[in-house]
Amino acid sequence: MTCNLPKVAIMHGEGSASPLTIKAASLGLCQLVFLYADCNKKDQTQLELLKKHVGVFDISSLTDLEVATLLREEQVSGIVTFSEYKLPEVTKYCTILGLNGHSAEILACLTDKYLQRERLAASNISAVRHAIVDRHDVEGAAELVGFPAILKPRIGAGSRWTVKVSYIEQLRHELSLGPSDCEYVLEEFLAGDEALHDQFYGDYVSVESIHSNGKSQQVCVTAKLPLTEHFAETGMFVPHPFSSKLAEQILDLESKAIQAIGVTDGVTHTEIKLTSSGPKIIEINGRVGGYVPEILKRAMGVDLVRAALQVSLGEEAIIIVKPITSVVYQVFLDAPIVEPSSFVGMNGMEEVERMDGVLHLEITKDVGQIINYRLGTQSNLGIVYGTAPDFESFSKNTQDIKSTLVPNLSVQRGG
């Protein structure tokens, strides 16, 4: 039986929604074609399961021309990714095939942290001191930005190799630890509002929005648990605990920032710091936020993955948000601040699985896998999914989960 649904190509990569999640979101909307060049074991297993139902292609040995030819032969009507690192490929092939996607100019502002700061500053939106770091003249960037500051890769995701630096020698040292082929930016450190320091939640949020043909819809302000000292995420939840006035300021800032960048199509994930002088942009991401779709679907009945597929086809994604009746959360099991270690296992799993409100505990690392906290959110060891009747119960659940789950690591010596 021939399927008349349009076909969407998925450029699959690190940090993406899982193949099974994407397939579920596509039902009744489109056919799928997965293209990948590198794939973790879990996603590879899922792709093998899906091969009878979707196209799956390893493009690691193909040229750009061969990939474009493959996409034409598959007669795709849209291309999308859920991985930060595959955004340039989506723009490239959308341009070649004349499909819906970010332009090269908008892509640059979404993926290049320096250019994004430049664009926002030019529009007088959330201006933050920033500079490209010259490894041979770190003093130049330090003079422009000052200390304390945040050192981060110019292009990257998940807080990988991101660190706070407070003096020039520390800046030099942290640069020596990171990849030598990576360009870095130095940004003014945004201190959180002191009024939030003793709260169970973090001093930053994300805003999830959908854009189609220049029309934007803000879906949600997603609250966060406090970041680690190396800026790895430790969890998220909805609804947010903030006043309606602060929420309005957050949404207004996000809207202005999206307009300044010029995003007209796609799904964006904008991270915003809550400072004593008001909300300020941390960064705007031109794709669905990592781990966000699951929590929004569970809490609000919103499927961001499906929305991204619709937008790639040039369709308007109609979002109807259900009332949130409980605190819906994900708690991330962040990597300990130790030298690179081999993951042996996790203690306390049975106790946590028996806790009220805990729906599922997922360990995301394999036994023997090397854990390095400097890799940011991707170094997290697992996720606890759950619900709580109120913020007080959620706060207690979080403390209990964190104190009960203790990773068993074997520190690598001489590496």
Please give the domain boundaries of the chain with CATH numbers for all domains: 7-99 (3.40.50.20), 129-188 (3.30.1490.20), 191-325 (3.30.470.20), 326-409 (3.30.470.20)
DSSP code per residue over 162-190:
-EEE-SHHHHHHHHHHS-TT--EEEEE--
Distance CA 207, CA 225 (A): 15
Q: What is the mean pLDDT of residues 341-357?
A: 96
Q: What is the mean pLDDT of residues 307-336?
A: 94
Distance CA 256, CA 277 (A): 17
- Return the structure tokens found at 332: 């991330």
Q: What is the pLDDT of residues 133-181, one digit of tens each?
A: 998 889 999 999 999 999 999 998 777 889 999 999 999 999 998 888 8
* Predicted structure pTM score: 0.94
Q: What is the pLDDT of residues 217-248, one digit of tens each?
A: 999 999 999 988 888 899 999 999 999 999 99
Percent of the chain's residues with pLDDT above 90: 82
Torsion of CA 293, 299, 301, 305, to 10 degrees: 0
- Return the structure tokens found at 5: 């649904």
99: DSSP letter: -
Which 3 state secondary structure label does DSSP give 374? helix
pLDDT attached to residue 181: 86
Q: What value does the mean pLDDT of the chain take? A: 94
pLDDT attached to residue 414: 52
DSSP code per residue over 131-170:
EE--TT-HHHHHHHH-SSEEEEESS-STTTT-EEE-SHHH
pLDDT category at 415 given cuts 50, 70, 90 is very low
Nearest residue to 230 via CA among 149, 155, 161: 161
Asked if residue 186 lies in contact with residue 174, where contact means CB atoms within 8 angstroms, the answer is no
